[in-house]
Structure 1
């Protein structure tokens, strides 16, 4: 039992540091790495050279492709802000309806999901919340609905990087993993728009007249997410779901316009956006979508050609190590960078401006770089040294065949600690896989349980201090007591969500 507590020490430290001590993630995660190094050597007998190569492999995975994708997606957003495209997108969205219930769904659920799918890392909470608060919606309610909305696309954030990473850790098909995640999210995903309207409207009576619109929003999102996950994998599932739900909301408003004037929002008229401005505003995101499709497995001629531009290197020197492959072109990060620069040139944005925005983006992401590299290196050391296997064995011994029922809860703990689905998949992905193997689960069930790690992380992000802090900072009420109010409200949502997910995962393993 002593080994178990030593193995779980880095995770316990993260819980204490991020939740109790309110320490910044970029400061806490290197300490977790240090603890994992000490425990792996002193208590698990990991040789120094094996430990160093595990850290190096984790660093390589962090830099290419994870940090590459994160930098590319955030850069796309920053360049869109610089060119004025983001303001035009906001104006187009707010012109759809004067009913703030519709605007909440369109901006928080639809556009927020789009931002999560493209960029992630807080943009899906901060930007929609500030937009809604700026239109006169109660600021705390604005953050609350964005936290709920972010549950659905979080696993597919930053062009699917959480699930791409998790599938790499497991060595499984990313499309199968993404499909299972979409299935687990589906019921709650359809329910989320109803819950958002109830929160913003002050009770369930606010749903009157909104049922067709809420249903269109939820079904449009989860259906598109499921279909794209099955046929293409995780990279475009979140983006496709967001695009479909925005279209579904607009169509539903046209055929079933809400008639309750109690929810009409009095605001200044949004500036008109002509077709040319609209085209250039959406151009970077359209190019990314098209180029990711063209370089996917749907177009074998292109995909097979660019996939050959790669380098395989055996980094980890111990048992279980396998060559790590650097795909130099066939990786979403490179495609996104190319699409973003291409859109900039088409819009005649000076190269100097684009490089300046890129420089500022990289500078702003330095804490993220430290966090991601540290957390991935920690996960690699814990995995190769046997620490994660020890945690999994003791957890399985305590729960037995009931383990699938708590798999989502374990993932939610990671989401609560890190505020990131990507970090949770890295930190706990192998633990979940080892636990699934320990209970004798089939290969499909192993993937199903790993998917629960990602969906649980999405639920955990609802109550994550990092997510709440981003939201209250965006609306300018940080440190005014809003954090505790939001956490109390978020807990009322999180608890039934995680209980339902536990039931779904446990029942689902019977069907597989």
Structure 2
């Protein structure tokens, strides 16, 4: 077994993150920067990482955080802000609210379907803040609106925004994106079906609330799962959450209309709604066109790239490939500019929203760059291997059962599935290799577990509290959501453990 002292030093950066963010309440970007410095010191002193390699790994990690993570987040929030400024988002909200007057159906449409869609194309708290506000406006108690929105913002986060968590997981581990995507969908399949029933039960005050809406709830879950599976298996990570949320949303709306649960609320003209959704429609079209479905386009646009070399003689190959035209962030940015222009936004608004979005995200950008740099240093210094070796030696095959807990911890601390995968993805893959298990399985388990931790992440709770204006009940929101989170993680760990070790 790796000596205890090396193990304790290797986990120190992770422990510090937990202490700084959860106990000392230090802002995430400051916490990560301080932890990065500590990681440098440990990597240099205990793990003998040369200064040249340490510098190269840090720069490479920061650059990888910038491209593709930051560019995707910036483009998604920029597009969302443009829609807010030109009134398109208000049109979408009105259209969703007019579908049904049954609150159980409303929660499926708004928290599950539309919330999942927002997570797929934007993320960054929009999938909690917006559904909470709409549900409260429709007469749902603020506490319930906050809880159901937090629970709904779990499964979709595996592939939101635009697959970045899985794409980064693949880059960190060197594993195949499509294989990872397929494993993740299979591990989360049951929750795609079960969670809509949970949301209905919460809104209706118990299991009996499912009566009368069993079929529409089941169809909502199935229609979310099947498109996700097909897209994940055959296309990759960018579109599963997109396809799943649209499948669930459209199916629920159609069935609700057929059941004649229409409300008296004034609807929205189809042409007006079409125009309001142009940014998202263009995003979908552009990403599909640059997917493996159209290899000629993908190959042609993909040929425009740059290679930035951070390699050193002692540190091995560290090359960052920047694809200038087919990176999801660039496609979302193009879709946002084109869609907003058609929606009536003018050059002045484009510039204003650009700098407003940059200001809005500046702290998150710092945190992302630092956390990816930290994870890269931990990997190159051997700290990740030391942690994995010790955990496997201590728990044996039982590690498989607790692998989702590690992913959940990552999201709980950092508030991001992407960051959880950057921190622990390589750890999970290394542990899997030592146990003789397919690395795709445990790397996927990290992402699956991370979706559970998202429910109770302090950042998510803060967003829900802000949107519901329930500052005095933040503890109650956390404790209520925590029960569902613990059950979610326990069932997930049991399922993954049994499947990969017994069956």
TM tier, smaller = over 0.9
Cα distance in 1 between the residues matched to 2:322 and 2:117: 28
Q: 2:289 aligns with which of 278, 282, 294?
A: 294
Q: Determine whether 1:323 maps to 2:326.
A: no
SS in 1 for 2:277: helix
Q: Which residue of the partner structure matches residue 261 of structure 1?
A: none
**Does structure 2 retain, via aligned residues, the 8 Å contact 1:212–1:256?**
no
Cα distance in 1 between the residues matched to 2:141 and 2:316: 53
Deviating more after overlay: 11-20 vs 283-292: 11-20
Q: Which residue of the partner structure matches residue 418 of structure 2?
A: 422
Q: 1:339 aligns with which of 322, 335, 347?
A: 335
**Does structure 1 retain, via aligned residues, the 8 Å contact 2:88–2:343?**
no
Give the drift of 1:39: 0.6
**Does structure 1 retain, via aligned residues, the 8 Å contact 2:304–2:325?**
yes
Q: Determine whether 1:493 maps to 2:484.
A: yes
CA distance 1:511–1:448, shift in 2 (3 Å): farther
SS in 2 for 1:324: strand
Q: Which residue of the partner structure matches residue 43 of structure 2?
A: 40
Q: Which residue of the partner structure matches residue 221 of structure 1?
A: 224
Deviating more after overlay: 380-389 vs 319-328: 319-328
Q: Determine whether 1:277 maps to 2:280.
A: no
Q: Determine whether 1:355 maps to 2:347.
A: no
Q: Which residue of the partner structure matches residue 456 of structure 2?
A: 463
SS in 2 for 1:365: helix
Q: Which residue of the partner structure matches residue 237 of structure 1?
A: 240
Q: Which residue of the partner structure matches residue 136 of structure 2?
A: 133
Cα distance in 1 between the residues matched to 2:317 and 2:450: 27
Q: Determine whether 1:174 maps to 2:145.
A: no
Cα distance in 2 between the residues matched to 1:158 and 1:57: 22
Q: Per-residue CA shift, 1:62-108, capped at 9, x if unaligned?
A: 11111001100111111111110100000100111011111111000
Q: Per-residue CA shift, 1:248-271, capped at 9, x if unaligned?
A: 11232234467xxxxx99xxx645
Give the drift of 1:178: 1.0
Q: Which residue of the partner structure matches residue 314 of structure 1?
A: 309
Give the drift of 1:49: 1.0
Q: Which residue of the partner structure matches residue 9 of structure 1?
A: 12
In structure 2, list runs of 5 or more residues that go unmatched: none
Cα distance in 2 between the residues matched to 1:56 and 1:433: 23
Q: Determine whether 1:365 maps to 2:365.
A: no
SS in 1 for 2:337: helix
Give the drift of 1:391: 0.5
Q: 2:384 aligns with which of 381, 388, 406?
A: 388
Cα distance in 2 between the residues matched to 1:256 and 1:476: 34
Cα distance in 2 between the residues matched to 1:377 and 1:484: 33
**Does structure 2 retain, via aligned residues, the 8 Å contact 1:436–1:449?**
yes
In structure 1, list runs of 5 or more residues that go unmatched: 259-263
**Does structure 1 retain, via aligned residues, the 8 Å contact 2:397–2:501?**
no
Q: Per-residue CA shift, 1:353-408, capped at 9, x if unaligned?
A: 11211111111000110110111011001000011111101000111122211110
TM-score normalized by structure 2? 0.96
Q: Which residue of the partner structure matches residue 304 of structure 1?
A: 299
Cα distance in 2 between the residues matched to 1:20 and 1:56: 29
Q: Determine whether 1:440 maps to 2:433.
A: no
Deviating more after overlay: 233-242 vs 269-278: 269-278
**Does structure 1 retain, via aligned residues, the 8 Å contact 2:65–2:369?**
yes
Cα distance in 2 between the residues matched to 1:170 and 1:191: 30
Cα distance in 2 between the residues matched to 1:57 and 1:45: 19
Q: Determine whether 1:18 maps to 2:14.
A: no
**Does structure 2 retain, via aligned residues, the 8 Å contact 1:17–1:28?**
yes
User: What is the number of equivalent residue pairs in this alignment?
Assistant: 499
SS in 2 for 1:233: coil
Cα distance in 2 between the residues matched to 1:56 and 1:26: 17
Cα distance in 2 between the residues matched to 1:6 and 1:185: 34
Q: Which residue of the partner structure matches residue 91 of structure 2?
A: 88
Cα distance in 2 between the residues matched to 1:496 and 1:27: 32
Give the drift of 1:506: 1.7
Give the drift of 1:22: 2.1
Cα distance in 2 between the residues matched to 1:345 and 1:201: 42
Q: 1:70 aligns with which of 62, 69, 73?
A: 73
Q: Per-residue CA shift, 1:426-485, capped at 9, x if unaligned?
A: 1111111111112122xxx2101100000100001112111111100111122x1x1211
Q: Which residue of the partner structure matches residue 56 of structure 2?
A: 53
